[in-house]
Amino acid sequence: MQKILSGIQVKELDAQHLKLSGKSSLELMEEASKAFVSWFLEQEFSIESPVQIAVGGGNNGGDGLAIARLLTEYSYSVFILKCFDSADKLSSDALFNFNKLPDSIQVLEFVDWDLPENGILIDAFLGVGLKGDLRPDAIKIIQRLNEFVGTVISVDVPSGLASDEISRGDIVKADFTISFAFPKLSLILPEHAEFVGELVVLKIGLLGEAYEGLHSSFYYLENHDIPALHKTFNRFSYKGDMGKILLVGGSPGKMGALILCAKSALRTGSGLVTCHMEDSERFIVQTAVPEAMASWGLIPNPEFYDSVGIGPGWGTENRVRLLKQFLQDFKKPIVIDADGLNLLARNPDLLPLVPKNSVLTPHIGEFTRLVGKATNHLERLELAKRFAMDNELILVLKGANTVISLPDGRQVVNSSGNKYMATGGSGDVLTGMITSYLGMGYAPENAALCGVFHHGMAGEIASKSKRRSLIASDIIASIPDTYIQLDIS
């Protein structure tokens, strides 16, 4: 998996890459700019819309100048907003691209820019080279850029955003942020969502070896990482091989959570799914999910099952004894979600009973109750890391970029998913998927990574035809497509 480095490490990374590849930093800038332009062309922005590029004095500006040249080759009408004092103040790579600008491109002093009503603004003013607080002239430029009402696309990071910490000052509000190689940590923090807009991370041909020796405990989970995480099954596999799983949840009026969980586990590939619920509700489950079995009354001997998922829609009324009994009887890793997490939060003495490497899947509210308050998401991620390491558990902190904290201290940022998935039942679907992979014999870490990635990818696929109409059942219906698209048997 791709390491997520800090902005400061980018310079070392480039230097290592250049040494290993013999390439020049200019070539790297050209590759970054070409990657940006091919993304830009895929968006099919109208040729009629004027493209203005705010260009700063560093290599972020250099990217902008190279992008300007490349876009004119695709007959876009481009002009430069000069956000630097004079050409002799440009970084050497930026100066090179400044001199290479075709004459057809007009360079406008920023002060002479009369804000057009529409079109596209490419923000190549400041990148990861931002140091300290913004200078006053830069604040004015950013404030002016934020008056623009057309489409704003930031190169690498929205100008004014620090690459690895919470920023409060003036920051460009982008519709898209096109970042290179990996998402700088500040791009995945909810506090910055209004500035980052839709995050796109582009590969720019940086050699993997260039990352050697550059420490980070953050990793980025992308589609090319997934096939290697999956188990393969041969033609002699029978339904038992695909795991016998038990899902404990549901309560009068909240049976949907258990049903979504069961359907999701079946679609993920489980062979034998048993739902455990109050006997009064068993008809609902048996009707809704004929492929699943139902059990009620005493919890069946958990040792009979390969994995257990507990909590969706369970409620918390007189469940503590049941949960405690359960944690004492079942020694294999389990998945605990929703009310299972709320019960743990209220009864911390149960936490040590949770089998090692179990997977907990809180959203931020459940996390706060279980682990504690944080003043911001960076702090929350630190708490999550400590919690996972101290309790030897896998903590899936759900959000726009779900982060999986592992017992060894690594934290994995998921790249799949989108805003449409924030809908009731989406979490129940994830619980079913992770429990299913655990039941198939996946290592708990791989069960969590595959569950989170496929869940997000299924949501993306379903969103193409649903957008804000997306409901949790659509995510389940798209699970098969994730296997096809990733070519997982």
Yes or no: say if 71 and 37 are a contact pair by the CB < 8 Å rule.
yes
Check the annotation: does 400 bind a ligand. yes
How many residues touch ligand LP7C6HRI under the rule CB under 6 A: the total is 30
83 counts as binding ligand LP7C6HRI under rule CB under 6 A: no
Nearer to ligand LP7C6HRI, 211 or 314 (CB): 211
9 counts as binding ligand LP7C6HRI under rule CB under 6 A: no
Yes or no: say if 123 and 145 are a contact pair by the CB < 8 Å rule.
yes
Binding site residues, K ion, CB under 5 A = 123, 154-155, 159
Among 132, 213, 253, 348, binds ligand LP7C6HRI (CB under 6 A): 132
Nearer to K ion, 155 or 461 (CB): 155
Nearer to ligand LP7C6HRI, 124 or 246 (CB): 124
Report d(CA 145, CA 124) in Å as an integer. Answer: 11
- Contacts for 242 with CB less than 8 Å, ≥ 6 apart: 233, 269, 270, 271, 272, 439, 440
Among 4, 5, 10, 55, binds ligand LP7C6HRI (CB under 6 A): 10
123 binds, among K ion, ligand LP7C6HRI, none (CB under 5 to 8 A by kind): K ion
Check the annotation: does 455 bind a ligand. no
Partners of residue 155 on adjacent β-strands: 178
480, with CB counted inside 10 A (0-12, 13-18, 19+), is: middle
132 binds, among K ion, ligand LP7C6HRI, none (CB under 5 to 8 A by kind): ligand LP7C6HRI
CA distances from 13 to 30, 181, 431 (A): 17, 11, 37
Minimum distance of ligand LP7C6HRI from residue 57's CB (angstroms): 3
183 binds, among ligand LP7C6HRI, K ion, none (CB under 5 to 8 A by kind): none
Check the annotation: does 257 bind a ligand. yes
Check the annotation: does 240 bind a ligand. no
154 binds, among K ion, ligand LP7C6HRI, none (CB under 5 to 8 A by kind): K ion
Question: Strands 394-397 and 403-405: what pairing?
Answer: antiparallel
Phi, psi of 243 (to 5 degrees): 100, 145
**What residues between 18 and 77 interact with ligand LP7C6HRI by CB under 6 A?**
28-29, 32, 56-63
Binding positions for ligand LP7C6HRI, rule: CB under 6 A: 10, 13-14, 28-29, 32, 56-63, 91, 126-135, 138, 155-156, 180-181
